Amino acid sequence: MAQERAGFILLTLAALLAVAYLATGSGLPVEYPGTVALKASGILLLAVYAARQNAFLLALALAFSAIGDAMLALQPVRMTLGIGAFGMAHILYAWIFLRVVRARGLRGLPGYVLVATIAIFGIAMLLWLQPGMGELRVPATIYNGIILIMAAIAVLSKARWLAVVGALLFVGSDSLIALDLFKDIDPAWRAPAVWISYVTAQFCLTLGLIRERP
């Protein structure tokens, strides 16, 4: 009971911190570098939650994600370090999904259809965005490959659909970031949509994978 209560508190605090960071875009008075700590803190609490559940690979993936959040919130932005940190997170997520595949096998036709969709979307986005990547062309292309492989393994696995949705939301969130970085497309709704889809993805991955320890 105490373990469950502590987990509920960690998840609630993580959600509240994520909402607080979202509110900084609407005037919540948090000054730099407090915004850096605020951005990373919610995901760090998810990492603590996962570690308390003995899901250490998941905790490590979340910790790398929090590092990536911090790198992207710094002024000036440490883009290459942020890409590297998130790339490591996705490698760990892919590893967890691979363990599910080894334990339970493949999802079958729905998984193959989703993999084909992910591949077509990823290749099309990469070809469209590459002319604007500049000096980030190599790290961004490698990262694109890593996250697409992670998502492909996720949809092929028999992991809980909550975790699969989390992987797909991560692809969507990063695609919105890429539109701003490489195409200079930045409507007013993009930034909050990025954060909401990203945080939702991390919660879905955490709650969906927390017991995937074959």
User: What would the pLDDT profile of 29-81 be if each residue is shown by its tens digit?
Assistant: 888 999 999 999 999 999 999 999 999 999 999 999 999 999 999 999 999 99
Q: How far apart are CA 211 and CA 214, in angstroms?
A: 8
pLDDT of 113 higher than 50 = yes
In the block, residue with structure tokens 């409507």: 187
Nearest to 82 by CA among 164, 12, 15, 178: 178
Q: Is residue 138's pLDDT more than 70?
A: yes
Q: How confident is the model at residue 145 (pLDDT cuts 50, 70, 90)?
A: very high
Contact indicator for 144, 118 with CB cutoff of 8 Å: no
For the chain, where are the alpha helices, taking DSSP H only?
Answer: 2-24, 34-52, 56-73, 79-104, 109-129, 137-156, 161-183, 190-209
What is the C-alpha separation between 51 and 60, in angstroms, rounded?
Answer: 8
Distances (CA, A) of 60 to 15, 123, 126: 19, 29, 28
Closest CA to 178 of 186, 189, 188: 186
Name the pTM for this structure: 0.94
Contact 45, 14 (CB under 8 A): yes
Widest pairwise Cα distance in the chain: 55
Q: Categorize the per-residue pLDDT at 14 as very low, low, confident or very high, splitting at 50, 70 and 90.
A: very high
Eight-class DSSP state of 53: T
Give the pLDDT confidence score for residue 29 in this predicted structure: 87
Instruction: Find the mean pLDDT for residues 92-108.
Output: 96
110 three-state secondary structure: helix
What is the Cα–Cα distance from 179 to 79, expressed in whole angstroms? 15
CB atoms within 10 A of CB 213: 15
- What is the C-alpha radius of gyration for the chain, rounded to an integer number of angstroms? 17
pLDDT exceeds 90 at position 164: yes
- Amino acid identity for residue 72 in this structure: L
State the pLDDT at residue 213: 53
Contact 39, 194 (CB under 8 A): no
Q: At residue 127, does pLDDT exceed 60?
A: yes
